[in-house]
Structure 1
Amino acid sequence: MTDERRIARVLDAPWLPPGSTAEAWAGNDCQVIDPVIVTRLLLVRRSSAGTLEFFRVPTPRGPNLPTRYLWGSEDHESVADGTSRLMTEVFGRGDLATRCIGFIRNVVPTLDPNYAYPSPWAHVPVFLVTDTAEPIVAGDWVGADRAHAELADRHWWPIVGNYLTAQDA
């Protein structure tokens, strides 16, 4: 049973065509809705001090969740295959247990030649890694307070922040 609910919305999202909206949906076990254009992984641990932390990787645009783009100009990768390949890149194995804790829904009501993704909806799920795993790629661990200050502008932050808050409650 899925339990997703909309927790945030950005009207006229600047990264989408004019008149479009980005919605953040979160829950404990969310349905993965097609079409999926990007997949992201969330790996969480408790530090030795008891602080909840998550893993992020360096990117040209700054720290991010481990991410794989599934929707190319010529071909498209399934969410299952793409998420498995992303896990292999990050953890060295693609068979880790996950569950979807939220997704971004791009709502693009009018076709736009500069928007290469499906419309009116395109989804970007965040999968929590529920197995024990250690990253094999460069990155760092960050706690919720520092992450909020540094990453609040990321459209996935409401999903991650919601999860971290629920775990510390």
Structure 2
Amino acid sequence: MEVSNVLHMNGGFGDNSYASNSIIQQKVISMTKAITEEAVTGVYGNMFLKTICIADLGCSSGPNTLIVVTEVMKAVDKIRRKFGRQSSPEFQIYLNDLPGNDFNSIFRSLPRVQEELKEEMGSQFGPCFFTGVPGSFYSRLCPTGSLHFVHSSYSLMWLSQVTKLLDPLFRITY
């Protein structure tokens, strides 16, 4: 049996769930917010895309799952306003984790999250399309050339092999 088929965080919201025991991960995400905003500015500030595709590799489930992708969307909206663009791009969000992840709890929270984003950013905020992508990030998860921003938080300790970079323009920085 492959590890990727059985390994996952504890789902739900009980005492032993990942959702109830992920405060350290939340602090790290908060500490990297400025770096994330700088990266988003570098991508969206130069391209002004109609659709922005964002992937969160190892998204897990619980309160931290959507923090990064919502911060990316807010950063894009901030840039849009700065440059006087009338409407926000559409967002395609790929939430990736191993197949045993509790994707159902993520999907149940999406209507509330989308409503909060619209309230905070106004009627010009673009639509969001969320997709669950179960699988190991050692394999291909998305169509070629489809992603503009990829995030992975707290997944380096789970690496069991060196990733192969297929595109020489794609760089991993630490």
Is the pair's TM-score, using the shorter chain for normalization, greater than 0.5?
no
Structure with greater strand percent: 1
State the TM-score, normalized to the length of structure 2. 0.31
So what's the TM-score if we normalise by structure 1? 0.32
